[in-house]
Amino acid sequence: MQFILGLRSKGITDPRVLKAMEAIPRDVFLDGTFQPRAFEDRPLPIDCGQTISQPSIVAKMTQALNVTPRCKVLEIGTGSGYQAAILSQLARRVYTVERHRPLARRAVRVLQSLDLANVTVITGDGSFGLPSQSPFDRILLTAAAEDPPANLLEQLRVGGIMVLPVGQSDMVQTLIKIEKTDTGLEYSELGEVRFVPLLEGIAEDIA
């Protein structure tokens, strides 16, 4: 409950988003040592040197994406699978792409354990999007790009929304929302964020 009140105080007002955040336990996406801190509003380490995002940022991005029950959503940067699980509560179908195979594998297990059957995890380089399933109603990047990737903009349906962190620096980026209309792209800025960079290729992990 404290968790949801905290989100409200940070500007999360969409009841659908709050309900999804309440329904999905964050601790199961973390390793044992970090589980006691799962309901603090902080990013935390996951495997492969990556991080699970801060809950208020997950909620903010989800709210900005304005997902409806008919939406087919693409997420780039599965990480732990937590953001994908939140999206699964709001969308018809979620595809999520991760370049670290061990993270993708673990996310599949956790999502299955929660019976979230409308999420598909793909190991790959998400900067190319997922042409086989395009177009998407919503696209969310949870890794920072220097510019909005052209491949992803192409795979966004007219009337669709894309939310992503953009910036040159690894330290701080701007969260932006792009709406694709009949006449072109409309951009709005949603504040500063800090994400790991969008990297090329599938990672060479041992194991």
Catalytic residues: 53
Q: In angstroms, rounded to a whole number, what is the distance separating the alpha carbons of residues 91 and 115? A: 15
Cα→Cα distances 23→89, 128, 134, 157, Å:
8, 31, 28, 29
Q: Identify which of 29, 112, 15 has the alpha carbon closest to the alpha carbon of residue 59.
A: 15
Q: Which of 24, 44, 79, 87 binds ligand SAH (CB under 6 A)?
A: 79
Q: Which of 114, 116, 153, 196 binds ligand SAH (CB under 6 A)?
A: 196
Judged by CB under 6 A, does residue 21 bind ligand SAH?
Answer: no
Q: CA angle 29-46-133, nearest 5°?
A: 70
Q: How far is the CB of 42 from ligand SAH (least distance, A)?
A: 13
Judged by CB under 6 A, does residue 35 bind ligand SAH?
Answer: no
Judged by CB under 6 A, does residue 53 bind ligand SAH?
Answer: yes
Identify which of residues 159 and 191 has a Cβ nearer to ligand SAH in the complex.
191
- The H helix count followed by the E strand count for the chain is 6, 9
Q: How far is the CB of 123 from ligand SAH (least distance, A)?
A: 8
Which regions of 41-134 does DSSP assign to beta strands (E)? 44-45, 51-52, 72-76, 93-98, 119-123
Judged by CB under 6 A, does residue 118 bind ligand SAH?
Answer: no
Name the residues that contact ligand SAH, by CB under 6 A: 50-53, 76-77, 79-80, 82-83, 97-100, 103, 125-127, 142-143, 196, 198-199
